[in-house]
Amino acid sequence: MKKIGLFFLLISGVVFAQESILDKRINSIIKDKKATIGISVLGFENGFKYHKNGEKRFPMQSVFKFHIAAAVLNAVDQGTLSLHQKILLKKSDLLENTWSPLRDKYLNGNIEIPLSEIIDYTVALSDNNGCDLLLRLIGGTQTVQKFMDSKGIKGFQIKYNEEAMHKDWKYQYENYSTPNSTTQLLKKFYDGKLLSKESTQYLMKVMLGTKTGLNKMIEQLPKNTPVARKTGSSGKNKEGLTGAENEIGIVTLPNGNHYSITLFVSNSTETDSVNCKIISDISKVIWDYFNK
């Protein structure tokens, strides 16, 4: 028994030392940065957990489009919506002065397109007009909040759509999540405890095809690493403050294992490139930890 106890003590010591090295590497990335940084990592198969400011509330920005898409797909699972049904895209839905590849494709609107296309643009391309159209279809942000509440998701709040956030800078802070909340949500999603099997597979495929934020989470990972992810960014206000530079994702390792990761950079006076580099560097350090 003494030998067994000593063995486990040695193993625990090795794990602690490795995690201490990880923490030092992350601290070296974020030291002296004029920003608040939230990190949360969860190993799916080994139960590994790591966080900094894990229970602090951060503005989500477009990360909330994952939550919105999940609520829409819940309506699909309930039979009130269908991925194949045609949705009228009105000219009035295509607001100007906002990020919208959907508007660029359908300049004049007044066309019916499948719900699946709106979801794809909203998640994979982070389309703001598509986002607000999805919210109108399901009854607004309160429907998303109720769905997340029903799934036991804590540390999450959504009150305002993209149009509202564009009108008032402070509204983004009312759409918040803790890093731990999002990381745990991604695990629940992966485990099929959020949506049906079909909807889970569909949204996972859409997220694997995300085209935004190429200089953030996946920048330093090996090419073609499967990462189902969602980005978010506020840009800067007149005072040069970045409200949010974010990314969340589910990473598949070469050995077939997975981890979820949340990286939030908030209230930063660093440049856009530095904010994105923070996310990129931390993502690489976490990847290296899991592949040691």
pLDDT tens, residue by residue, 150-172 = 999 999 999 999 999 999 999 99
Half-sphere exposure of 227 (CA within 13 A, CB side): 27
For residue 111, the cross-strand partners are 89
For residue range 66-94, what is the model confidence (pLDDT) as tens digits? 999 999 999 999 999 999 999 999 999 99
- pLDDT for 14 beyond 50: no
In the chain, beta strands by DSSP E: 36-43, 49-52, 58-59, 86-89, 111-114, 156-157, 176-177, 227-233, 242-252, 258-268
Given the residues 40, 62, 100, 199, select the one marked as catalytic. 62
For 8-12, 45-49, 132-136, 255-259, which range has the lowest pLDDT when averaged over its residues?
A: 8-12
- Contacts (Cβ under 8 Å, ≥6 apart) of 274: 33, 268
Which residues 6+ apart lie within 8 Å of 17 measured at CB? none
Mean pLDDT across 94-113? 96
Please tell me the predicted confidence (pLDDT) of residue 13. Answer: 47
Cβ atoms within 10 Å of 15's Cβ, excluding its own: 11
Residue of 40, 100, 126, 162 with catalytic role:
162
**Residue whose pair of structure tokens reads 């970045």 in the numeric block:** 242
Rounded distance between C-alpha atoms, residue 35 and residue 264, angstroms: 10
pLDDT at 12: 45
268 is catalytic: no
Per-residue pLDDT tens for 93-102?
999 999 999 9
Helices (H) and strands (E) in the chain, counts: 10, 10
Which alpha helices (H) appear in 169-264, and where do they start and end?
Answer: 179-190, 197-208
Mean pLDDT taken over the chain: 94
Question: Is 174 annotated in the active site?
Answer: no
**For residue 18, what pLDDT band results from cuts at 50, 70 and 90?**
low
Confidence of residue 17 (pLDDT cuts 50, 70, 90): low
Q: What is the pLDDT of residue 292?
A: 85
Give dist(CA 96, CA 53) in Å, integer: 36
Give the chain's domains with CATH numbers: 33-291 (3.40.710.10)
Please write the tens of the pLDDT for every residue from 203-216. Answer: 999 999 999 999 99
Q: Helix, strand, coil % (nearest 5) of the chain? A: 50, 20, 35
Q: What is the DSSP letter of 98?
A: S
Q: If pLDDT is split at 50, 70 and 90, which confidence band does 147 have? A: very high
Listed residue (290, 263, 285) closest to 39, CA to CA: 263
Q: How many residues comprise the chain?
A: 292
